[in-house]
Amino acid sequence: MTIAVLFGSIFIMLFIGVPIAIALGASSLLALYFTTNLPVGIIAQKAFTSLDSFPLLAIPFFMLAGILMGKGGVSKRLLTLATMLVGWMIGGLAMVTIVACMFFAAISGSGPATVAAIGSFMIPAMREKNYSEGFAGAVTAAAGSIGVIIPPSIPFVLYGVVAGVSVGGLFLAGIIPGIMLGIGMMVVAYIISKKRGYKPETTVTYTFKDVLYAFYDAKWALLIPVIILGGIYGGIFSPTEAAVVAVVYSIIIGVFVHKELTLSGLYECFRETVVINAITMIVISLSINMSYIMTLEQVPEAIATFITDFSSNPIVILLIINAILLVVGMFFDTISAIVILSPILLPIIMAIGVDPIHFGVIMVANLAIGFITPPLGANLFVASSVSGIKVEKITLAILPFLLSMIICLLIITFVPFLSTWLPSLID
């Protein structure tokens, strides 16, 4: 009865357009009030105590670092570098967009932030070169989803906290899958661009010296992942401390090196971070309430029993879990899904011998696809917002990229070496 009230109320509220954070809290409150003898005050207590976590501090600091870098002149330099590397290819602007998103993913840790930072430049540029509106928005929205896989990644931080696994290990595990997803999108963009006659962005032949200069000009941005991962695995600081270092570094670069961050710009960056983080933390705290109720009702055990009774074949079980995560990603944001589902799915994957770090990559890759699938599809709406293109056009044009991501997801799922090799070098 408790679970019926919990899930029934949340889906009704989501269907009528209630914000997901409120829907999570209200459904938990209704389930406790009508089906248990527990005091409803436990909702507030659990929501407050769930945020008393040092590792969770990494989330707002990585958010702030990404916003500071985005507004401190980094995006333009990354675009220049990406143009020199791939702008000469067929569909050059689409290729530049994907590579620039991969670079920016190594700074922001967020899918929507990557779409906003790169899309504000690249979508208008593609429209000027007569790329179709839907394709321009779709390329950016799809490539932005890589922002949660290439480290540093905010969902990896959260999964590491919930699952009790190494955040640094997750960061390393996401590098190869993130690059593979980017290459898959470039293949799709190339095929579509060749068919439609989209020309290279530049016919200039860049010399090796030109490329080296572009790398040098973007060096301050490219150093961030090196500093973060090097510091974590060098034992210099923890992932949370690495996020703080990234913020200080971003301020120094934006204010004193590129000189594009003013006092008013800094204020805007901090204000934007506070707003985004407030929303994120509310979702996390209320998601933990829902997870707590499901644990009380032994939902994880029931689901684990159902799946393992259905099949004992690890391949079938992983396919079922992928299907569940893909559907969940369509309706729940990444943060809620990780907090709610990790405790449910971890016992299952542990029972079939899947490495928790590998599963973290599988989970985040699934939920990254949720960024470009309606009805939630955050990247679709961000791309539409920064470009003025209708969401419907972007959604139709994104289907080939969606197929590419699903193919890459299956490879990531069934070739664990791609996720576990880099972390194994450090152990």
Over 80: is that where the pLDDT of 194 sits? yes
Torsion of CA 329, 332, 333, 335, to 10 degrees: -100
| Higher pLDDT among residues 299 and 393, named by residue | 393
The string of DSSP letters for 63-128 reads HHHHHHHHHTTHHHHHHHHHHHHHTTSTTHHHHHHHHHHHHHHHHH--HHHHHHHHHHHHHHHHHH
Average pLDDT value over all residues in the chain: 87
43-57, 70-84, 246-260, 283-297: which has the highest mean pLDDT? 246-260
- 154 within domain boundaries: yes
187-196, 307-316, 375-384: which has the highest mean pLDDT? 187-196
- 382 within domain boundaries: yes
When pLDDT is averaged across residues 404-409 and rounded to a whole number, the result is: 97
> Rounded to the nearest 5 degrees, what angle is found at the Cα of 404, between the Cα atoms of 400 and 405?
120
- 23 within domain boundaries: no
Tell me the chain's radius of gyration from C-alpha atoms. Answer: 21
Band of pLDDT at residue 139, cut at 50, 70 and 90: very high
Over 70: is that where the pLDDT of 108 sits? yes
Band of pLDDT at residue 427, cut at 50, 70 and 90: low
Count helices and strands in the chain by DSSP H and E runs: 23, 0
For residue 233, with 0-12 CB atoms within 10 Å meaning exposed, 13-18 middle and 19 or more buried, which class applies? middle
Domain range for 219 is 56-279+298-426
Residue 314, preceding peptide bond in cis (omega within 30° of 0):
no
Give the contacts of 38 (CB within 8 A, at least 6 positions apart): 32
> Which pLDDT does position 31 carry in this prediction?
85
> Which pLDDT does position 286 carry in this prediction?
82
Over 70: is that where the pLDDT of 33 sits? yes
Band of pLDDT at residue 10, cut at 50, 70 and 90: confident
> Which pLDDT does position 204 carry in this prediction?
66
Closest CA to 189 of 94, 84, 86: 94
> Measuring CA to CA, how many Å separate 69 from each of 110, 220, 233, 383?
13, 10, 23, 19
Token output for 415: 């070739």
Band of pLDDT at residue 196, cut at 50, 70 and 90: very high
Q: How many whole angstroms from its chain centre is CA 88? A: 29
Contact 346, 167 (CB under 8 A): no
| Higher pLDDT among residues 108 and 361, named by residue | 361
Q: Count structural domains, the chain.
A: 1
- 235 within domain boundaries: yes
> Which pLDDT does position 339 carry in this prediction?
86
Q: Please state, for a pLDDT cut of 70, what percent of the chain lies above it.
A: 99
Amino acid code (one letter) for 234: G
Contact 142, 401 (CB under 8 A): yes
d(CA 186, CA 146): 13
> Which pLDDT does position 266 carry in this prediction?
92
Query: Which of left, alpha, beta for 205 (phi over 0: left; psi -120 to 50: alpha)?
Result: beta
> Which pLDDT does position 145 carry in this prediction?
93
- 46 within domain boundaries: no
- 186 within domain boundaries: yes
- 350 within domain boundaries: yes
Residue 177, preceding peptide bond in cis (omega within 30° of 0):
no
Q: Quick check: helix, strand or coil at residue 323? A: helix
> Which pLDDT does position 53 carry in this prediction?
77
> Which pLDDT does position 185 carry in this prediction?
96
Band of pLDDT at residue 188, cut at 50, 70 and 90: very high
> Which pLDDT does position 305 carry in this prediction?
79
| Higher pLDDT among residues 184 and 239, named by residue | 184
Q: Please state, for a pLDDT cut of 90, what percent of the chain lies above it.
A: 33
> Measuring CA to CA, how many Å separate 166 from each of 137, 346, 357?
35, 15, 8
| Higher pLDDT among residues 34 and 181, named by residue | 181
When pLDDT is averaged across residues 260-264 and rounded to a whole number, the result is: 89
When pLDDT is averaged across residues 117-123 and rounded to a whole number, the result is: 85
> Which pLDDT does position 203 carry in this prediction?
66
- 8 within domain boundaries: no
Separation of first and last alpha carbons in the chain: 46
